[in-house]
Amino acid sequence: MQQKLRAAGTPVAAASLSYWQTGRSLPRRASSLRAVDELERLLNLPAGHLSQLLPQRAEDNKRPWDVISKRDLLHDCLERLDLSVARWRGVVNHDHVIIGPQRNEVSITSTQLVHSKIDGMRAFPAIYFQDSLDPVSPSIVAVTNCVVVEQIQVPEEHLVVARLELPRALERGEPSLHAYRIECAPSTVPSHRWERSLAAKHDHLVNTVEFLGDPPTQATGYYKGKAEIAGLPNPEDHRNLESEPLKVSGGIIQQIAPQALSGVHGVSWQW
State the total domains in the chain.
2
Report the CATH number that the domain containing residue 119 is assigned in CATH: 2.60.40
Q: Say whether both 214 and 88 belong to one domain.
A: yes
Question: What's the pLDDT tens digit per position in 130-158?
Answer: 988 888 999 999 999 999 999 999 999 89
Sequence letter at residue 73? L
pLDDT reported for residue 21: 80
Domain limits for position 21 = 2-55
Looking only at the bridges linking them, the beta strands covering 139-144 and 105-116 are unpaired
Measured distance CA(16)–CA(88) in Å, rounded: 25
Q: Say whether both 102 and 173 belong to one domain.
A: yes
Q: Say whether both 36 and 96 belong to one domain.
A: no
Q: Given 55, 81, 100, which residue is the final one in a domain?
A: 55
Q: Given 55, 71, 98, which residue is the final one in a domain?
A: 55
Q: Say whether both 179 and 196 belong to one domain.
A: yes
Q: Say whether both 6 and 24 belong to one domain.
A: yes
pLDDT reported for residue 101: 95
Q: Say whether both 105 and 192 belong to one domain.
A: yes
Q: Say whether both 51 and 123 belong to one domain.
A: no
Q: Say whether both 120 and 17 belong to one domain.
A: no
Q: Per mean pLDDT, which range of 14-23, 113-122, 243-252, 256-265 is the poorest?
A: 14-23
pTM (two decimals): 0.71
Q: In the predicted model, what is the mean pLDDT of residues 80-103?
A: 91
Q: Per mean pLDDT, which range of 102-106, 190-194, 198-202 is the poorest?
A: 198-202
The string of DSSP codes covering 165-208 is EEEEEEPTT-EEEEEEEEEPPP--SPP-EEEEEESS-EEEEEEE
Residue 86 has pLDDT above 60, yes or no: yes
Q: Say whether both 236 and 254 belong to one domain.
A: yes
Q: Where are the alpha helices (DSSP H) in 43-161?
A: 58-61, 71-80
